Amino acid sequence: MKINVPLVNGYLPDKYTKHAPAKDKIGTNPIVSFPIKIASVPEKTASLAIVLLDDDAIPVCGFTFIHWVAANIDPKTTQIPENSSQDDSIKMTLGKNSLAGGLINEQNPVLNEHYTGPTPPDQPHNYHLYVYALDQILDLQDGFWLNELQQKINQHLLAVAEQVLPVKN
């Protein structure tokens, strides 16, 4: 399986990060998700899942920051369009990101159960996008946690694709 998010000069375009215009943010949180091209999905795939993580956040906040978690995407999907996290153009079950956790405790589901864009505070960060091909549709409801996804995919993973998305400070 292959994935591709277009980069500009080696970085995720500003539109999807802390450098986004105010119209593409709620407060300081970027909310317009980037497009993802998907190819060579295994034949027996029943659903796709997306995870976007920032391990470079560990020295800053003490944990890997979860920016986007989604599951139960149709395996025939070849393009996840820009802003699909917010506009429902692609049917997906949305998980909670790190804004929902006890340390930040953001209550607005528009922020805590959708894409929240990269906002590296200290230096450029590398964000890891994973797309998982699974042999079943997962029994998850909107608002699930990443660890629930990880437990459910344990026996159902057919393939995984990863792309590193560098973001300027």
Q: What separation in angstroms does the CA of 141 have from each of 56, 121, 126?
A: 29, 32, 29
Q: What is the pLDDT of residue 23?
A: 96
pLDDT at 104 over 80: no
Mean pLDDT of 73-88: 96
Distance CA 129, CA 50 (A): 7
Residue with tokens 């990880």: 150
Q: Give the domain 2-167 fold.
A: Phosphatidylethanolamine-binding Protein (3.90.280)
Q: What is the pLDDT of residue 103?
A: 75
Indicate whether this model's pTM tops 0.85: yes
Task: Provide DSSP, 61-120.
Answer: HSSPEEEEEEEEE-TT--EE-TTHHHH-SS--EEBP-GGGSTTT----HHHHTS------
Task: Provide DSSP, 126-147.
Answer: EEEEEEEEESS-----TTB-HH
Give the start-to-end residue ranges of the domains of the chain. Answer: 2-167
**Structure tokens given for 34:** 């980037």
pLDDT at 102 over 80: no
In sign, the C-alpha dihedral spanning 114, 118, 122, 126 is: positive
DSSP assigned state of 15? G
Q: What is the pLDDT of residue 154?
A: 87
Q: Are 130 and 95 in contact (CB under 8 A)?
A: no
Query: Which pLDDT tens digit goes with each residue over 27-63?
Result: 999 999 999 999 999 999 999 999 999 999 999 989 9
Q: What is the pLDDT of residue 101?
A: 83
Mean pLDDT of 150-161: 95
pLDDT at 72 over 90: yes
Q: What is the pLDDT of residue 29?
A: 95
Q: What is the pLDDT of residue 108?
A: 87
Distance CA 58, CA 60 (A): 5
